[in-house]
């Protein structure tokens, strides 16, 4: 396998209630790049991230992180969920949430040590929230909340970062500062995979793109991916047939793959 491959997704199919949401998706992602995942609403972007993260069980195919199983690479990979996925009324301060980035399977029962605290302070500073470190998370703006999540991921000290829509509900200034932070991370060799929906900015933001609509439509550099044909395949309603078949599969509770596929 390619030495420079951060994430290998092999023939991945994930179903929801019987219908395929991701269907035979297959790609390798290069390390040390900022990679965008784009596609219309309901095209399986979040499902892709969750399947890579092991939060959803694929019905076929597999994911490898640096050629290893996810279970061995947990500490190398950090996940930033959608901002709406948590209840921001939770009684916790910025510091508390970022500290969760230092939690590990192995240290849940241990007390936090000084190294952890130093790392957390440093990450809060990196996202520019030091003056808010003791504030309750409900009393932050949308952009600040997003930065808390990014700081938490930074505190994990991972090599790969998966971010689900980090630019949603964020003002332009914050978006720029997040972006320069991501570029800084890339320059130190980190891989960042981002779900994004604003087609205007994709070619400026990303080194590599994955275009999804249940199926993988295209992958590669922005120039290669952002062709008219690819975009109309993904966004232009050209895939109605695909949706109809997915629906048939769901209605008939049909297996999406047979056990004996080769030959």
Partner 1 sequence: MSDFWIILTASIVAINAGLLGCFLLLRKMAMVGDAISHAVLPGIVVAYYFSGDKTSGLLLLGATLTGVLAAFLIDFLSRKAKIQGDASIGITYTLLFAVGMIMISSWMQGNVDIDMECVLYGDIATIHMDKIIVDDNLYLGPRAFYVEIIAFAIIGLSLFFGFKGFKLLAFNIDYARSLGINTGKWHYALMTLVSLTTVVAFEVVGAVLVVGFLIIPPATAQLVSTKLREMLLFTCLFGISAVISGYYLAVWLNVSITGSMVMVSGIIFFAVLIFQRIRNSSKQKIEFTEELTQYDQANK
Partner 2 sequence: MQTFIDFISFKDPNVFYVVIGMICINSSSALIGSFAYLRKRSLIGDAVAHSLLPGICLGFIMAGEKNMIYLFFGAFFTGWLSTYLVDYIVNKSKIKQDAAIGIVLSSFFALGIVLLTFIQNGGYSDQGGLNHFLFGQAAAINKDELILFAVILAVIVGSIILFYRSFIIVSFNSDYAKSIGLPVRSIEFLMTSLTVLAIAAGIQALGVVLMSALIVTPAAAARFWSHKLKRMLFIAVVFSVFSGLLGAYISYANSNTPTGPWVVMILSIITLISFVGSTKRGILARYLKARKNKSKILLENILKAIYHYHERQNLENDLNLVLASAEILKVRRFDTTELQKGLNQLIRRGFIGRENNNYFLTEEGMTESKRIVRLHRLWEQYLLKRTSMDIFHVHSGAEAIEHILSPEIEKELEKELGIVGIPKEDF
Write out the residues near partner 1 by the rule CB under 8 A. 50, 53-55, 71, 74, 77-79, 81, 85-87, 89-93, 96-97, 100, 103-105, 108-109, 136, 156
- Rounded to whole angstroms, how far apart are CA atoms 78 and 178? 16
Helices (H), 31-141: 45-52, 70-73, 94-99, 114-126
> Interface with partner 2 includes 217 (CB under 8 A)?
yes
Beta carbon of residue 88, minimum distance to partner 1 (angstroms, whole number): 10
Nearest-CA neighbor of 128 among 139, 138, 140, 116?
140
> Interface with partner 2 includes 1 (CB under 8 A)?
no
Nearest-CA neighbor of 78 among 163, 7, 146, 8?
163
Q: Which is nearer to partner 2, 64 or 102 (CB)?
A: 64
- Rounded to whole angstroms, how far apart are CA atoms 223 and 225? 6
Contacts of 104 (CB under 8 A, 6+ apart): 75
Is the Cβ–Cβ distance between 76 and 66 less than 8 Å? yes
> Interface with partner 2 includes 24 (CB under 8 A)?
yes
Of the ranges 29-37, 113-121, 184-192, 238-246, which one interacts with partner 2 (CB under 8 A)?
Answer: 238-246
> Interface with partner 2 includes 63 (CB under 8 A)?
no
Q: Which residues bind partner 2 (CB under 8 A)?
A: 11, 23-24, 26, 87, 89, 138, 215-219, 233, 238-239, 241-242, 244-245, 248-249, 252-258, 260-263
């Amino acid at each position: 396998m390619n030495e420079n491959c951060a994430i290998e997704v092999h023939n991945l199919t994930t179903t929801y209630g019987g219908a395929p949401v991701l269907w035979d998706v297959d790609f390798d992602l290069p390390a040390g790049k900022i990679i965008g995942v784009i596609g219309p609403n309901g095209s399986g972007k979040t499902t892709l991230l969750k399947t890579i993260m092991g939060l959803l069980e694929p019905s076929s195919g597999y994911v490898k992180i640096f050629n290893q199983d996810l279970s061995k690479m947990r500490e190398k990979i950090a996940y930033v969920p959608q901002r709406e996925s948590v209840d921001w009324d939770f009684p916790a301060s910025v510091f508390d949430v970022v500290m969760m980035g230092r939690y590990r399977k192995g240290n849940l029962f241990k007390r936090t040590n000084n190294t952890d605290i130093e790392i957390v302070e440093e990450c809060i500073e990196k996202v520019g929230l030091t003056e808010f470190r003791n504030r309750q998370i409900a009393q932050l703006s949308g952009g600040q909340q997003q930065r808390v999540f990014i700081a938490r991921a930074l505190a994990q000290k991972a090599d790969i970062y998966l971010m689900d829509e980090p630019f949603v509900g964020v003002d332009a200034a914050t978006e720029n500062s997040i972006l320069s932070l991501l570029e800084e991370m890339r320059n130190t060799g980190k891989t960042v995979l981002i779900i994004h929906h604003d087609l205007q900015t994709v070619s400026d933001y990303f080194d590599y793109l994955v275009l999804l609509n249940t199926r993988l439509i295209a992958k590669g550099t922005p120039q290669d991916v952002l062709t008219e044909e690819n975009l109309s395949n993904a966004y232009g309603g050209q895939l109605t047939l695909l949706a109809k078949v997915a629906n048939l599969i769901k209605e008939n509770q049909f297996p999406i793959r047979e056990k004996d596929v080769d030959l």
